[in-house]
Amino acid sequence: MDVVLEIAKRAKENTKFISNASTKIKNKILSDISKYLIASTEEIIKENKKDLEISTQEGMSDSLLDRLKLDRKRIEKKAESIDKVIKFTDPVGEVVFGYNLPNGLILKNIRVPLGVVGIIYEARPDVTIDASVLCL
């Protein structure tokens, strides 16, 4: 639990930087994640095999083992999906709707960063990437 708390504290400390980051900076971070995935493919596969061996010994079902498995094709697809996200329009700062109140006050609904997000999941290593990318 101490590890999770420490990660959450560090994430909170960096919230201001990330929430104020320009689209260019966020896209650079996303691009770096994609490149790092590709560059680290062999190491990821090697470590994933260890996870699969332990999970098999512990009696994990075939369907969960399949979701846990990372191979070159899955890693490349994940990197490609990150590259697609980079092409999306950054929603931060978008005015969803707005109107003027009778007293002259302007009311706007503007998309803002979520902040720190905690996610609990099992046997889905790809969720780590998906969640991280979409939260940026």
65-118 pLDDT per residue, tens: 999 999 999 999 999 999 999 999 999 999 999 999 999 999 999 999 888 888
Strand ranges inside 1-136, DSSP E? 95-100, 106-110
Q: Taking the mean position of all CA atoms in its chain, how far away is CA 76?
A: 16
CA dist., res. 134 & res. 91, Å (int): 11
31-65 pLDDT per residue, tens: 999 999 999 999 999 999 999 999 999 999 999 99
Determine how β-strand 95-100 pairs with β-strand 106-110: antiparallel
Whether CATH 3.40.605.10 fits 2-135: yes
Domain ranges of the chain: 2-135
Task: Provide the whole-model pTM.
Answer: 0.82
